[in-house]
Amino acid sequence: MKRYHFIYEELRRTKEELLNRLEKADKDCPILLYIKAELNDVEVALEKMEAGDFGKCEMSGELLPDGLLGIIPIARSEKDIKMMETYLRKPLYS
């Protein structure tokens, strides 16, 4: 886990922030569903780190790219990474 210490600390801070937002949110707020989903993803990533499974694709077991895990630490599979890479690409024309 030493390798991902910075990511682990960032995920812990994110978890606290999400829990704080859940506490303060109006119970009928439509965004609450997204906050809960994000919190779940963060908790899964933290559990994977603690178990030594962080950075492995849940489908194939292959290692995910470290560079993208640093940006999107809640990615769970190669499919997630490929989908996110689409949004991270710079346009050819500006």
Q: How confident is the model at residue 92 (pLDDT cuts 50, 70, 90)?
A: low
User: What tokens appear for 75 in the block?
Assistant: 């990615």
Residue pLDDT, tens place only, 13-72:
999 999 999 999 888 888 999 999 999 999 999 999 999 999 999 999 999 988 888 888
Residue type, 49: M
Q: How confident is the model at residue 93 (pLDDT cuts 50, 70, 90)?
A: low
Q: How far apart are CA 86 and CA 76, in angstroms?
A: 16
Domain spans of the chain, in order of start: 2-88
SS3 27: coil
pTM confidence score: 0.82
Q: Which fold has domain 2-88?
A: Four Helix Bundle (Hemerythrin (Met), subunit A) (1.20.120)
How many residues in total does the chain contain? 94
